[in-house]
A and B are shown apart, each in its own frame.
Chain A
């Protein structure tokens, strides 16, 4: 090996602590970029791919009963690739012996063997039930404590019960799609229907289109044709839903996740770049003397440059060796977490080319680019300055920078110290030295601060956004202010229900609500969106909407409604006052939208219209299927207990209760997806905290390492170990505190940026941002701890060195 390469080789292996620090700070950046880019790739690709693999229906029709002949005629249609029919109905179930009833959507398959649309993915047990056996969607486990082989008790409309065994669990990615408030599903064969007192007829049609399954307008066309053809056989389509083959129902949430990943990815590239360049410039500073010697004995700029270029490359390669595998694993784990939460499967662990190349680029290019300035400066520095080693701030030589005059900062400091001293306040000497040290190398300080500030600001912002979302979830609660929701199988007179319920202890108020389904159509009369209209009394206090446009309900509203803002995805310029075509109970009508409110529409749109009008078109004046009950107390355990009590109470009095549950139980499903986002944000906050913490440790470590010689000399002239430690630690803390102050400021735009990304992906307009002290507090604690710890280790090393070692240290 040529001597010059031997030098570089020794630079790499001799000072292991320093090499580790540099490699580590590059690796941390590359790792986090790997995690972020990798998850981005996994999620964006695998979600739609795995969703499409389950062959989602493009058109789903809820209809009146039909039989096999209708199904085969649809199957034979041009434009229809495949069709499948099922029977779906509601049943109350419980584990035998338990008091808690839950509702299942029972789905009867024509044939499990020939299942080719909305495929069921086996999770546990059998994949195909025999007669009088049931499969459960795995989400049912939330409400039912049952294992494979366990029994369930099903309640028939006449009140009698039937027992069937659960023979397996499946995952149905299409379950609940398009239906806000959908219940978990249970799957049975057609043969089981009579056992449950149901006719062997279908009421659902699932169709995949031949041709472009990702073109909504084409799908709509096919859907309309299918509907027409069914109506010719006297089958009425009650509701229809269309879906693109590759668009997961939770795509909005995923887009929010991806948006966060992208934004954080970019921020983290900056963060790690500044981390890397800080470390490298510290490193090259330490090498200044060497550069001087090399130039003294004939080395030219190009040679110096190449030597250090090679050194930086070596650091980069070492970092990549660590960071690429771990980044890959991290990305897969994070994606796995998200996939699990959002109910899709990954296509398996693999090397993703794009993240891999991004990592290589960041691992090699960023060190190169950020090392370039110090390397060029180092290779340019005059021999004299390099030899004296005293390149103070910004590479200006000490002498010509004017050591003789105090810098403005020192001047202020000296003044301040004097003023304080005059009042009897003595700033401890070590602290003054720390301050001087901190501000001596301004460019270094700037880089360190930048790195720490970025890390802190990202962390705080992520935390704020998390709380913002949380707060939003809290405000969604205002749509579910009732304590107990009671739904019946038939409509009862409101006055009667109110009278009966009010006899129960703790019930203070009862409201009857109605529902109506509608299909919103475009100008060509094709159904674009389903909407579930909730009809509370217009003066109801139990809904307190977040209005973004227009007004709330009035008792004299006729064919007027308020809709959730999510509708703007299908009707982009929708405003209060606009008219829309809506198909209601088989009739085409024109409705006016009088208000637009914010909600979380993950699965189907909701709207509100006054009870006064809806009860009229439902021909159910003064009656209601659904009741909202207000109780004395509003805590969840009380609500749950009351729901159970009311269920039994009404049943005992002969009312056909379909479901009784705490009012905020519906909220749970509504905000579940937001909760996932909140958890995800927490993970990202932790990731940035780790990167920031590592950055802090690395930077502080480098700063102290750089001054080993100086520390040794301080010690040689009489400072004891504790004094040295105090000086160094105080410096770390000062830097930490300044960066914290800056992070507080920078976190504000970051918070707005991130919450913008999130809310635009899920909602149509920004949600109001909430700031929390928690993120600030955690970061402050982290910064203080880390800057202390990160300073202690190198300071201890320096304090331990003998003077001879220190002076030999170059």
Chain B
């Protein structure tokens, strides 16, 4: 169904990724051999019914869960096969290359907003402590909650918390952001703001974003949308007629080629 893009455009590539959950009740195939390429600078939406395998797909890309078969290659300058790495290596790699955002915000409750962000930099050691705080404040300004910088997460709203989670995902300036229903627990106005933020990150900073959403109305705003049905990946809206391959992988018109990395 998908064709191969030119090598330099292919930032993330899933090759025949299969995920089987084995439970006492028997094996459950959550991903049935997914092949997928994601180009640098794409804003990719993933939609599908509950239980279709969206989260499972993201977990394969972030290396948060192990796949059963296949390979996930991320080519950010050098190509790495995520699942060939040890857990620890994945963590380190993820810290620098990939920001993860969940539906629930997963901020550490005992740290202030700034500290939540600097913790990420602290662990990866990319920035000096002084530079960290500066950068954290910049990121908070970017997500427009700079004024709350020294508050604890419990004292701000859900939408604000999600912004902090996004700022944290950006802490080490990773080229890729992966978000699993980031607006799922927010009201539609707040969700819209968050979505705008993502769009800005793609357009202004050239980030590559993979985002799962339930909200099919958002589909038009992605540069490309995938649909997952029962562990299989298709285009959205589900197509009955086969499109030409060129069209299917055409890069979005608002891509910024100058941000492409070597």
Contacts and interface: CB of A to CB of B under 8 A. Distances in A.
Nearest to A809: B109
A563 interface: no
Given A6-B111, A297-B119, A402 B24 contact: yes
Contacts of B87: 301, 380, 382
Nearest to B115: A3
A235 to B, nearest CB: 86
B122 A4 contact: yes
Given A2-B129, A3-B118, A297 B110 contact: no
Contact of A382 (B66, B119, B168): B66
A639 B88 CA distance: 83
Interface string A375-418: 00000101110010000000000011110110000000000000
B92 interface: yes
Interface stretch (B93-101, B213-221, B231-239): B93-101
B91 A295 contact: yes
A293 B108 contact: yes
A4 B169 CA distance: 17
A289 B111 contact: no
B106 interface: yes
A155 interface: no
Contacts of B23: 399-400, 402, 404
Nearest to A11: B110
Contact of A4 (B22, B64, B123, B171): B123
B64 A289 contact: no
A298 interface: yes
Interface residues on A, range: 35 or more
A800 interface: no
Given A294-B119, A382-B87, A405 B94 contact: no
Contacts of A296: 64, 94, 100, 106
Contacts of A300: 88, 91-92, 123
B92 A6 contact: no
Contacts of A387: 64, 102, 106
B59 A299 contact: no
A382 B123 contact: no
Contacts of B119: 3-4, 7, 294, 297
A810 interface: yes
B21 A399 contact: yes
A146 to B, nearest CB: 69
A296 B122 CA distance: 13
A409 to B, nearest CB: 15
A347 to B, nearest CB: 49
B172 interface: yes
A297 B63 CA distance: 12
Interface residues on B, range: 35 or more
Nearest to A5: B122
Given A10-B110, A399-B21, A384 B123 contact: no
Contact of B171 (A297, A299, A380, A809): A297
B95 A298 contact: yes
Interface in B118-138: 118-120, 122-124, 129, 132
B25 A400 contact: no
A228 interface: no
Interface string A284-320: 0000011011111111111100000000000000000
B154 interface: yes
A387 B95 CA distance: 16
A11 B109 CA distance: 10
Contacts, number: 99
B154 A808 contact: yes
Interface string B15-48: 0000001111100000000000000000000000
A14 interface: yes
Contact of B95 (A10, A297, A399): A297
B65 interface: yes
A298 B123 contact: yes
A3 B88 CA distance: 20
Nearest to B98: A298
A402 B25 contact: yes
Contact of A298 (B21, B64, B94): B94
Contacts of B154: 808
Contacts of B59: 384
B111 A7 contact: yes
A301 B25 CA distance: 33
Interface in A723-760: none
Contact of B92 (A4, A10, A11, A298): A298
A2 B91 contact: no
Interface string A1-35: 01110110011001000000000000000000000
Contacts of B168: 297
The listed residue with most B CB atoms (<10 A of its CB), out of A11, A298, A399, A810, is A298
A383 B124 contact: no
A401 B24 CA distance: 7
A648 B95 CA distance: 100
Interface in A757-810: 808-810
A808 B119 CA distance: 20
Contacts of A4: 119, 122-123
Interface in B68-115: 87-88, 91-92, 94-96, 100, 102, 106-111, 115
A301 B91 contact: yes
B115 A6 contact: yes
A14 B109 CA distance: 10
B129 to A, nearest CB: 7
Contact of B109 (A402, A405, A808): A808
Given A7-B110, A7-B111, A405 B88 contact: no
A810 to B, nearest CB: 6
Contacts of B116: 3
A487 B132 CA distance: 96
Given A298-B91, A299-B91, A400 B111 contact: no
Contacts of A404: 23-25
Contacts of A301: 87-88, 91
A140 to B, nearest CB: 67
A808 B110 CA distance: 11
A10 B153 CA distance: 14
Nearest to B136: A3
B207 to A, nearest CB: 16
Nearest to B112: A6
Nearest to B168: A297
Given A290-B108, A297-B120, A387-B106, A405 B24 contact: yes
Contact of B65 (A7, A384, A810): A384
Contacts of B91: 295, 298-301, 383
Contacts of B169: 297
Contacts of A6: 111, 115
Given A6-B111, A11-B110, A383 B64 contact: yes
The listed residue with most B CB atoms (<10 A of its CB), out of A2, A3, A290, is A3
A672 to B, nearest CB: 60
Contacts of B122: 2-4
A298 B107 CA distance: 14
Contacts of B25: 402, 404-405
B179 to A, nearest CB: 13
A14 B94 CA distance: 30
Contacts of A298: 91-92, 94-96, 120, 123-124, 172
Contacts of B96: 298
25 contacts: A3-B111, A7-B108, A7-B119, A292-B106, A293-B108, A294-B123, A297-B119, A297-B123, A298-B120, A299-B91, A299-B123, A300-B91, A300-B92, A300-B123, A301-B87, A301-B91, A382-B65, A383-B65, A387-B106, A399-B21, A401-B24, A402-B24, A808-B109, A809-B109, A810-B109
Given A384-B65, A387-B102, A402-B25, 11 more contacts: A3-B116, A3-B132, A4-B123, A6-B111, A296-B100, A297-B171, A298-B95, A300-B123, A383-B91, A404-B23, A405-B24
Instruction: Report, nearest first, the 9 A-B pairs whose CB atoms are least far apart.
Output: A298-B95, A402-B24, A10-B110, A3-B119, A297-B120, A299-B123, A404-B25, A383-B64, A298-B124
